[in-house]
A and B are shown apart, each in its own frame.
Chain A
Amino acid sequence: MATVAPFRQAAVEPVPAATQLAALSFVSGVSGVLHGRSDRFRVVLHRVLSRAGKSYLQQASPYAGMETLDHSLAGRVLPLSTGVVGFAWKNGKIARTRDLAAPELEAALPADMAHVGDKRDLADVARSYLAVPMLGPDGQSTTILYADTHTVGLFADDVLVALIASMAQGFCTVMDQMTTKPLSSIQNYELEKGAPVLEEENVYEHLQELVPAIPVPRYSSVRLLNLQTTR
């Protein structure tokens, strides 16, 4: 059994405005797909952040899908092993919440939360999660799309997950194209990837699963997403 890492308030580090805007544009498109399927969801893009020889997960923008944009959440830095995103990062595969009926899910959720030391009020906890890793040319995640919803079973729908993965692939392709044909005033500036910072895994181990059947989006050239404005 995994030793439990305590949940603690995440640190915040700057994210370049151009990176935030690109991430927000992408997740707003994904949120458009989820509208009508759920009335309570959030979508955000995480990027792998490199700082002083170490690599972390960093929330690249505010969440889309919420009533207001909360800019204070952009830039949150987390260990690469965090939750379902860390599960997807570690395996390089799409991860999501299993296809469980509501009673079964409601019965299993408290135990999984307790197992990882998650003390949140059950009413605040999403019921379906999705993490779509977007792999770089080195086979490691460059970015990871994260979504959660209170609609039970939403991401158990293979058609929906495949659609979102396809959108993520479109984002990867355009970002690759931007490296060869950048905008005159915005470019992607890569950094050396550092050693991954990992803490104890805290994915809900009985509720989340990998989805090996759906192709993982890939960048052909982008190893680190770091768009900045130039002069």
Chain B
Amino acid sequence: MVPTECAWFVWGHWGRVAEALRLIEDVARAEEVLADYRIANEVFLLGGLSSGVTIYKQQVRAHNLAFALASSSLKGHLGSVAVVGGGIAGLTFAAALSTLFPMTRLTLFEQKADLCPLQQGSETRWVHPHIYDWPAVGSHRPQAELPLLDWSEETAGMVADTVLRKFSQLFGPTAAIDEGRDNTATAPEIGTPSLDLYTGVTHLRIPKTLSTVEWVGTSSKLVAGHVVAGNPRGGSDQFDAIVIASGFGLESAAGEFEPISYWRNDMLGQPVLSRAGQAYVVSGYGDGAIVDLCRLTIAGFRQGRVLDDLWGASLPVVEDRLAACGFASAATEGRLRSLYEGSEDLRALIDETVATIRPRLRRDVLVILGMRGKGPPNSSIWQALGGRSSTLNKLLLLVLFKAGAFVPRFEPLDLIQREFGISSRNIIVRHGTAAMKNVLSLFEQPDMILKILEDIHSNDNQIAQPLWPLGKFAPQ
């Protein structure tokens, strides 16, 4: 072998070795990711029990899970995959898996009559992909920057519309043909991934074999982003993998007080038209509760714009001041009280912000914030500020407290209602979702998986950062 040929051999061999090493690395990473999502051998939970569930983060987790399945030891055995939940997380997972495995038969089950049922038509909620990461660099950027089903800050309804249109583009206009019943459907183009879609699912169980889904629902198809319902039917099918992407949409009640979904349209953000002012109770101190508190107390509040509204061109300076005093880490670690008491600059910044926000405080509503909590009753705003809400919302809560924009109360909700004589329809319960209960209800033998679900919840390992290798999903 002459030297040049020898060099080419070495180079070619090195290339193959490097590629093999990359594949091994992908497989190892994929197995690690799968372990964080696995409920049973081939059953996976997508994000439902994680902290910080946002649309964007769920979509990142969906891409991560699809990458992991596609690169793991299961990849050769994914002939059929069931996705339970037709919200944005479920759709993103289905989209991601279908681009990696176009030949996989995907079956999507949605309890409601339509896809993205929570966000569709929701025009009073503004969603921003990264704002809950504030004050991290880049958290202002409006575009989600996802390879698939990408969107930019908008009302939740418009985001759902964008996601559905892009989802529909991937699966073509004739997806989910109702077998033998829909003669108007034409065959999908070769190479277009196929999707069996069941909406209005009234019964769904995963029997103890943990490989089968038993259901009753309406066979539907997707046309230009819209669900067209066919005929109801029931079935019991075995799948190579089952992905549960549901459970986080339905919210917990507070005793006799039933929550209205966070995503339903309401008038909280609008000025009261009657002469008499109105009183509201917001119960809770998580992100949902604080957003509603802001809508009730700040005129023209918009989540994606509040930073500019409060600080305008001074925002970078404010962010530097917050960084200098360690606000974000104190907020995450529940140390805001000691930080506030020890930092003169933070107190000055809060006072300045209070002065800015005061002219925008609404005078047409009385707002009571119930912060009793689920465990031992809270007795101070600082305990609420030690909760799991985002840094931005904690800052807003502190500013509104200092501005005297709401009445903090720690009694049970029914006592607050009686004391202030508040109509039940003006009680807004934001106690988070009953995700664990909702997920368990899908299983014939919930005790089989209770422990692993508790572990997934407490470990909170389904991190919402892109873990897929660059270019794994071609941008849509």
CB-based contact A228/B142 at 8 Å: yes
Q: Which residues of B contact A230 (CB under 8 A)?
A: 142, 153
Within A1-20, the residues touching B (CB, 8 Å) are 3-6, 8, 10-14, 16
Determine which residue in B15, B19, B470, B472 has the highest number of CB atoms from chain A within 10 A of its CB, and name it: B470
In the complex, A137 has a CB within 8 A of chain B? no
Q: Are A13 and B141 in contact (CB under 8 A)?
A: no
Closest A residue to B144 using CB positions: A14
Task: Give residues 105-155 of A contacting B (CB, 8 Å).
Answer: 114, 117
Cβ of A6: which chain B residues have Cβ within 8 Å of it?
A: 11, 14-15, 18-19
Cα of A189 to Cα of B307 in the assembled complex, Å: 15
How far is the CB of A24 from the nearest CB of chain B, in Å? 16
| Contact yes or no, B138 A231, CB < 8 A | no
When the two chains form their complex, are residues A189 and B11 in contact, meaning their CB atoms are under 8 A apart? Answer: no
Whether A231 pairs with B471 at a CB distance below 8 angstroms is no
Contact A14 B146 (CB under 8 A): yes
In the assembled complex, the CB of A227 is this many whole angstroms from the nearest CB of chain B, namely 10
Which residues of chain B are within 8 angstroms of A8 by Cβ–Cβ distance? 15, 19
- B326 — which chain A residues lie within 8 A by C-beta? none
Question: Is A229 an interface residue, CB under 8 A from the partner?
Answer: yes
| Contact B4–A114 (Cβ < 8 Å) | yes
CA distance A6 to B470 in the complex (A): 17
> Which residue from B137, B147, B472 sits with its C-beta under 8 Å from A191?
B137
Instruction: Give Cα A194–Cα B443 distance, bound, in whole angstroms.
Output: 43
Scan A37-52; emit 1 where CB is below 8 A from any B CB, else 0: 0000000000000011
Q: Which residues of A contact B471 (CB under 8 A)?
A: 10-13, 77
Q: Mark B143-187, 1 if CB is under 8 A from A, else 0.
A: 101110010111000000000000000000000000000000000
On whether the beta carbons of B147 and A13 are closer than 8 Å, the reply is yes
A14-B19 CB under 8 A given contacts A52-B465, A191-B138: no
Pick the most buried of B4, B11, B14, B146: most chain A CB atoms within 10 A of its CB.
B11
CB distance from B333 to the nearest CB of A (A): 21
Contact B470 A56 (CB under 8 A): yes
B475 adjacent to chain A (CB < 8 Å): yes
Query: Does B415 have its Cβ within 8 Å of any Cβ on chain A?
Result: no
User: Which residues of chain B are within 8 angstroms of A3 by Cβ–Cβ distance?
Assistant: 14
Known: A11-B470, A14-B146. A190 touches B14 (CB 8 A): no
**CB <8 Å contact, B138 and A117:** no
Select which of A16, A52, A117 is within 8 A of B143 by beta carbon. A16
CB distance from A124 to the nearest CB of B (A): 19
Q: Is B404 an interface residue (CB 8 A)?
A: no
Bound-state CA distance A75–B147 (Å) is 11
Collect the chain A residues with CB atoms within 8 Å of residue B475's CB. Answer: 12-14, 75
* A11 proximity list for chain B (CB < 8 A): 469-472
A190-230 residues with Cβ-Cβ distance < 8 A to B are: 190-192, 226, 228-230
Given A10-B471, A51-B466, A56-B470, A189 and B147 contact (CB-CB distance below 8 Å): no
A117's partner among B15, B146, B470 (CB-CB below 8 A) is B15
The answer to whether A13 touches B470 (Cβ under 8 A) is: yes
Check B273 for interface membership: any CB of A closer than 8 A: no
Residues of chain B from 97 to 152 with CB closer than 8 A to chain A in the complex? 136-138, 140-143, 145-147, 150, 152
The answer to whether B154 touches A51, judged by C-beta atoms less than 8 angstroms apart, is no
Question: Is A190 in contact with B138, judged by CB distance below 8 angstroms?
Answer: yes
- Number of chain B residues close to chain A: CB under 8 A: 32
Nearest B residue to A223 by beta-carbon distance? B137
Which residues of chain B (369-387) have a CB below 8 Å from chain A?
none
B273-288 to A contact mask, C-beta < 8 Å, 1/0: 0000000000000000
Cβ–Cβ < 8 Å partners of B8 in chain A: 114
> Which residues of B lie under 8 Å from residue A191 when comparing CB positions?
137-138, 141
The answer to whether A228 and B4 touch across the interface, beta carbons within 8 angstroms, is no
Minimum CB–CB distance from A198 to chain B (whole Å) comes to: 14
Residues of A near B137 (CB, < 8 A) are 190-192
Which residue in chain B gives the minimum CB-CB distance to A78? Answer: B470
The docked-state distance in angstroms from the alpha carbon of A231 to that of B308 is 12
Contact A77 B142, CB 8 Å, known A190-B137, A229-B152? no
* B145 cross-chain contacts in A, Cβ below 8 A: 14, 16
Query: In angstroms, how far is the closest chain A Cβ from the Cβ of B2?
Result: 13
B304 CB within 8 Å of chain A? yes
> A170 to B370, alpha carbons, bound, how many Å?
56
- Given the known interface contacts A117-B15, A192-B138, the answer about A51 and B146 at a Cβ–Cβ threshold of 8 Å is no
CB nearest neighbor in A for B467: A52
- Interface check B317, CB cutoff 8 A: no
| Contact status B14-A228, CB under 8 Å | no
Whether B267 is near chain A, meaning CB under 8 Å from some CB there, is no
In the bound complex, CA of A77 to CA of B475 (Å): 12
Residues of B within 8 A of A75 (CB): 475
Task: Report if B6 contacts A (CB, 8 A).
Answer: no
Taking CB atoms, residues of chain A closer than 8 Å to B1 are none
B474 within 8 A of partner (CB): yes
- Residue-wise interface mask of B (196-224) relative to A, using a CB-CB cutoff of 8 A (1 in contact, 0 not): 00000000000000000000000000000
Top 10 A-B residue pairs of the complex, sorted by shortest distance between their CB atoms = A11-B471, A6-B15, A189-B141, A11-B470, A191-B138, A14-B475, A192-B137, A228-B143, A4-B11, A117-B11
Q: List 26 A-B contacts (CB under 8 A).
A: A4-B11, A4-B14, A6-B18, A8-B19, A10-B471, A11-B469, A11-B471, A12-B474, A12-B475, A13-B471, A14-B145, A16-B145, A52-B465, A52-B466, A52-B467, A77-B471, A189-B138, A189-B141, A191-B138, A192-B136, A228-B152, A229-B142, A229-B143, A230-B142, A231-B142, A231-B304
- Chain B residues in contact with chain A, CB under 8 A? 4, 7-8, 11, 14-15, 18-19, 136-138, 140-143, 145-147, 150, 152-154, 304, 465-467, 469-472, 474-475
| New A-B pairs, 20, CB < 8 Å, besides A6-B18, A11-B472, A191-B137 | A3-B14, A6-B14, A11-B469, A11-B471, A12-B471, A12-B474, A13-B471, A16-B143, A52-B465, A114-B7, A117-B15, A190-B137, A190-B138, A191-B138, A192-B136, A192-B137, A228-B141, A229-B143, A231-B152, A231-B153
